[in-house]
Amino acid sequence: MLESKLPPASRMEQCGAGCQSSNHRLAASFSWFFIILLLVTRVGAGACSLNSSLHHSAFESHEQDGESAGAELNVERRSILATQSTSGEADVLLACKKVLDPFNIISDWNGINYCGWRGVNCSLQAGQTRHVVELNLTNIPLKGRIPSFICNLTHLANLTLSNTSLVGTIPLELSHCTELDYLHLDHNELTGNIPAQLGQLQKLRDIYIYNNNLTGSIPEELGNCSRLTALNLVINKLTGSIPASLGNCTQLAWFKLTNNSLNGTLPEQLGDLVNLQGLYLANNQLEGTIPKSFGGLRSLSFLQLYDNRFSGSIPQELGFLSQMVSMQLHNNRFSGSIPSLKSCSKLEFLILRNNTLEGLIPEDLPLSLIYLSLSQNKLEGRIPNSIGFCTKLERLDLTDNNLTGSIPLELASLVNLKQLSVPNNNFSGHILDAFTKLHALELLDLTGNGFTGNVPPSLGFCGALELLYLANNKLSGNIPSSLSKCTKLKFLDLGQNYLSGAIPGELGVGQGQLEVLVFRENFLTGEIPLTVLNSSSLAHIDFSNNRLEGELPAVKHSSLPILRVLSISNNRLSGRLPEWVWRLPEVQVLDLSSNKFTGVISSNLSGLTGFREINTTGVDDLKGKVLTPHGGFDVAVKNGSYIYSYLTKSVTVIDLSNNTLEGGLPTDLGSLHALFCLSLAHNRLTGPIPTTLHQMERLESLDLSFNNLNGPIPPDFGKLTYLSYLSLASNNLSGEIPHTNGFDHKNPPSSFTGNPHLCGHPLPTSCPNLSQGRNGGKLALFLSDVWNPGFGIGVFIGFMSVVVLIIKWQPARTLVFLRKQQLSHGTHALDTALQRIKRHA
């Protein structure tokens, strides 16, 4: 108590030296504490620095690996280490680049501002840390893989790697990109399955993985992506069925699975996609019916189900989809009638071809139609007059049905019509003069009906007309010369009618685009006009089976530089074949058969380059394929016929049969290496068969019958390995039928009959110098040697030499005498022995 009452100064004085000693000890303790703390801090820092250096050294040593598959995996492991040891997004991007871009195509990712690197975009919120939200490297040929750690960019919302030549699989770790809205991996070479883990991405809106090589099925888990608006998996190799769970993606607007191998039926749940605008399921193996629930797709504008196996009727409910713009259900097995579609007031494209639909064409077709295709069905009745109100219609295709009646006059109201195709029906009546009002008309195809009357001269005023097919009807009268006014005309087919008169000389004049001219199977007379053959654009001429006469006009071969087909068979044409026939550089079908042509076959066929050059590329390049007339081009040979929809380089035919051609077969025929069919039958050809014919290595049909050919069959004919039909009948051929490569066994006796001097298999006549057995064969060979004059002369000279030797040379005479004595003694001994045997007997 006394001390407490003392003043402070007094208390200090009272402490004295003892207090000072205590203070010194306390200060020393604090000093040691700070020294120890400093040492611990430095040691810790050194340890951290050493650890970092070790990681860095390991990273650099791995970086020196090669570009093998193992090196790529090492790169990805190094990248993972780098992203774990740093927190910067720039480091993550650079690590991703090593996997995405192994060939360093992107060389400008440098500097500290990684948000400005090519393809990188960052968030823009003011006052906040910027983060990478988009990586877009579209159209850069990276040729790498998708990094499994790319989701270390934790704010990534848009990953677009379209058309970057990526390989490998889609990593399961993409499910860690929880902020991802847009995933675009289309136009790459990705393989493997679609990861089911993508269904964990609740914010995902777009999945574009089309045009890859993905396999497997579509994961059910994608149905958990409730915000999904676009799913595009077109052009892959996906199998299995369409998951019903996708009906949960009610925000889905675009659903595309075209060009896969999907099967099964359409889930009813797809009818719950009330926001769906486009459903593209074409070119798969889907089957069954269209669910009636599709009537609930009130936003649907585009429905593509073509090239599948759907069956049943087209639901009436589709007729109430007021937003429908395009309905393509062709190449399926739909049956029944076409439903009323009058409520589809926006429908522009209705394509139902190649099904088995029946009944009538609806009267209440939408007035908005631009393209209507109902071809290849079983529709009946007439074309409804109401179709004239579809004034926007540009293309109308009713091919291959059972439609009847005449073409309604109301069609003349379709001022925008560009293509009218109604072939292979049962239409009748006259062709409308009113077609002249269709100023936009480019294609008119009335083939294969029962139209009568004349070809309307008014068609010449359809200035836009390019393709005119009127074949296989009952049209009569003359070919109107006014057709020459169609200056854009490319194809003109009037074949298989009852047309008469001459071919108008005006045709071809001023028609610089005319490619195909077909008048076959009519009753046309007169000569072939020179002006027609002077059209340099012509690629196909078929005037066969008419009554044309006279000689072929003298055409410059340069006037027909691209002519592929010249068929004028079964007419009354005469005279010598002009030289230009053998100078057509591109001709592949030359059919002049069944006329009255005379003269010889040219000895120089070098101008027929279309028969000489074999196409070894596998591509039929005709400077653009030449489309043959409607219904295909029929190539007839003795053992059958071939119909080609397109004229390709594999179709090569020369037919000069049934004329009065003379002279021999030119050896230059062997240079036509690409020739498929050669027929020279029923002429007056003489001389031997050229040995060069075996060089025609692609020849499949050869007919030289009914001529005056002589000499042997060339033994090398057996080298014609493609030859499936041969006729050498009714000539003067001689000798043995060759055996090379079984030639005599590949052809029947009818191929050789009518040649009295031919022998050997398969004919019943054996050749004189042949026997059945082996010894007989040797004997025949010996006899043939005996009758050789050289053999007889040799025998005579040898015999006389021996005689002279015996007469003139003493040792030889002595040898002969001794031999004679020995022979006599031997004979005497033999007689004595025989007598003894008789006595004992």
Between CA 702 and CA 724 the distance in angstroms is 9
CA–CA separation, 174 and 180 (whole Å): 9
DSSP H or E stretch at residue 230: strand 230-232
Q: Where are the beta strands (DSSP E) in 398-535?
A: 402-405, 419-421, 426-430, 443-445, 450-453, 467-469, 474-477, 491-493, 498-501, 516-518, 523-526
Lowest-pLDDT choice from 327-331, 436-440, 546-550:
436-440
Q: What is the mean pLDDT of residues 549-575?
A: 91
Mean pLDDT within 501-528:
92
Least-confidence region, from 177-181, 245-249, 357-361, 610-614: 610-614
Residue 52 has pLDDT above 50, yes or no: no
Report residue 184's pLDDT band, with 50, 70 and 90 as the boundaries. Answer: very high
The values of phi and psi at residue 476, to 5°, are: -135, -175
Query: What average pLDDT is seen over the chain?
Result: 83
Residue 823 vs residue 189, higher pLDDT? 189
Band of the pLDDT at 510, cuts 50, 70, 90? Answer: confident
The two tokens of residue 675 are: 């020739």
Quote the radius of gyration of the chain (alpha carbons, Å): 47
pLDDT value of residue 806: 59
DSSP letter at 714 equals: P
Q: What is the pLDDT of residues 423-465, one digit of tens each?
A: 999 999 999 888 889 999 999 999 999 999 999 999 999 999 9
Question: Does residue 8 surpass a pLDDT of 50?
Answer: no
239 CB burial (10 A radius; 0-12, 13-18, 19+) = middle
pLDDT exceeds cutoff 80 at 83: no
Which residues fall within 8 angstroms of residue 29, CB to CB, at 6 or more apart?
Answer: none
Q: What are phi and psi of 429, to 5 degrees?
A: 85, -170
Among the ranges 84-88, 293-297, 432-436, which has the highest mean pLDDT value?
293-297
Residue 555: per-residue pLDDT: 86
Mean pLDDT value across residues 478-504: 95
What's the average model confidence in pLDDT over 243-269?
97
Give pLDDT, residue 140. Answer: 96
Element (H or E) spanning 4, and its range?
helix 2-5
The two structure tokens encoding residue 68: 């093998």
With a cut of 90, say whether residue 106 has pLDDT above it.
yes
Q: What's residue 89's pLDDT?
A: 93
User: What's the one-letter identity of residue 27?
Assistant: A
Among 611, 716, 751, 764, CA closest to 674:
611
Judged against a pLDDT cut of 60, whether residue 625 lies above it is answered with no
DSSP secondary-structure letter at 623?
Answer: S
Residue 839, pLDDT score: 54
Over residues 43-63, the mean pLDDT reads 33
Determine the pLDDT at residue 769: 64
Higher pLDDT: 822 or 673? It is 673
pLDDT at 779: 39
If one counts every other C-beta atom within 10 angstroms of the C-beta of residue 831, the result is: 9
